[in-house]
């Protein structure tokens, strides 16, 4: 009986070995801004070729269209999505590595781009799951998130302008009162020292323009969320308490954080209910 069992196990192992796909090459790419370092291993895990490639679709097309089906590892980053899509269209298997979770790369003392490319190739040849591969969002979802990121940039620009006006006023002995960003120009324009009003006037106009654009972004985000993400949670504005992004099932949610209504929301008729903490997923785009 033991002999038969062992023979069956050996047979099943043989089948699994036969079913394991082999690739022409195992390639690691350390993505850069203008150029990327590439390390190519053969099926035996030996270095076949090392070179640099231009970071444009034409150069990547030219190389990957001319080689056999390969397994490729690239480091996740701002350009990893389009690079992965270009490589995949030629039938290659692409793993997008979350290198912050790969101690072999992230905590290495000898960090350099060619070395990282070799380590990516080595891991994708040995055991791809050690790369902690991530899945990119779809192009449609990425485009929707652009609205949130663009709004975030507008808010940052408005904040910078307001802080500049406050700082310039302090230099002339005037500390501007606290107020909401939306009402800053209407309430505090007269408090700005006379000596700098002419210089600051264009900044106040830009703040008003930012307010208009941010209101436009708010409307578009709410429209997109209701039209395309209705079955997920839309965290919207509650009497100036909070504005948040789209609920997205593809986003890995980190620790939750507690959000409380702002103290100046006394006019809200539902204030007692709102004083209960609101728990939402912790995301960088939640504001």
Find all residues with CB under 8 Å of 60, minimum gap 6, and list them: 53, 83, 86, 87
User: What pLDDT is stored for residue 224 in this prediction?
Assistant: 86
DSSP, collapsed to helix, strand or coil, labels residue 96 as strand
Instruction: Compute φ and ψ for 265, nearest 5 degrees.
Output: -85, 40
Locate 59 and state its tokens: 């150069």
**H/E run at residue 260:** none
What pLDDT, on a 0 to 100 scale, did the predictor assign at position 78? 85
| Helix (H), strand (E) counts: the chain | 9, 7
Q: How far is CA 21 from CA 25, 43, 71, 72, 109, in A?
A: 12, 11, 10, 14, 34
pLDDT of residue 110: 66
pLDDT at 109: 62
d(CA 83, CA 77): 10
pLDDT, one tens digit for every residue, the chain (287 residues): 445 555 555 555 554 444 567 899 999 999 999 999 999 999 888 999 999 999 999 999 999 999 999 999 998 888 898 999 999 999 999 999 988 888 777 777 666 668 889 999 999 998 888 888 888 877 788 888 899 999 999 999 999 999 999 999 999 999 999 999 999 999 999 999 999 999 999 999 999 999 999 999 999 988 888 888 765 544 544 444 333 445 444 444 333 444 444 444 444 554 454 444 444 444 445 43
In terms of Cα–Cα distance, which of 29, 95, 85 is closest to 61? Answer: 85
In this structure, what token pair is assigned to residue 264? 């100046």
Listed residue (86, 83, 93, 72) closest to 26, CA to CA: 72
Q: Which two tokens stand for residue 134?
A: 């991530």
CA 184 – CA 27 distance, rounded (Å): 55
Query: What pLDDT, on the 0 to 100 scale, is given for residue 279?
Result: 47
pLDDT score for 111: 65
Instruction: Give dist(CA 249, CA 285) in Å, integer.
Output: 15
Residues forming beta bridges with residue 36, ordered by sequence position: 53
Cα–Cα distance between 178 and 173 in angstroms, integer? Answer: 16
pTM over 0.75: no
């Amino acid at each position: 009986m033991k002999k038969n069992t062992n023979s069956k196990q050996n047979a099943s192992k043989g089948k699994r070995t036969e079913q394991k796909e082999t690739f022409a090459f195992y390639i690691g790419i350390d993505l850069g801004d203008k150029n990327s370092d590439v390390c190519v291993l053969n099926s035996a895990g030996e270095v076949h070729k090392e070179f640099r490639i231009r970071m444009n679709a034409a150069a990547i097309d030219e190389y990957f269209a001319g080689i056999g089906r390969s397994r490729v590892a690239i480091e996740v980053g701002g350009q990893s999505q389009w690079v992965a899509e270009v490589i995949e269209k030629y039938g290659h298997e692409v793993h997008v590595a979350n290198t912050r979770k790969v101690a072999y790369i992230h905590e290495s003392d000898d960090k350099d781009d060619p070395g990282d490319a070799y380590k990516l190739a080595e891991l994708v040849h040995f055991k791809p799951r050690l790369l902690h591969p991530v899945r990119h969002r779809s192009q449609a979802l990425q485009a929707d998130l652009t609205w949130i990121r663009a709004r975030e940039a507008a808010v940052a620009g408005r904040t910078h302008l307001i802080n500049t006006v406050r700082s310039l006023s302090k230099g002339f002995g005037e500390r501007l009162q606290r107020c909401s960003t939306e009402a800053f120009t209407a309430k505090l324009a007269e408090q700005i020292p006379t000596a700098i009003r002419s210089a600051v006037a264009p900044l106040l106009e830009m703040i008003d323009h930012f307010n208009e654009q941010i209101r436009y972004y708010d409307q578009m985000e709410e429209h997109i969320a209701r039209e395309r993400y209705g079955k997920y949670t839309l965290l919207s504005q509650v009497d100036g308490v909070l504005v948040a992004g789209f609920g997205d099932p593809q986003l890995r949610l980190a620790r939750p954080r507690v959000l409380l209504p702002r103290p100046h929301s006394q006019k809200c008729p539902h204030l007692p209910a709102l004083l209960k903490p609101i728990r939402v997923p912790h995301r960088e785009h939640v504001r």
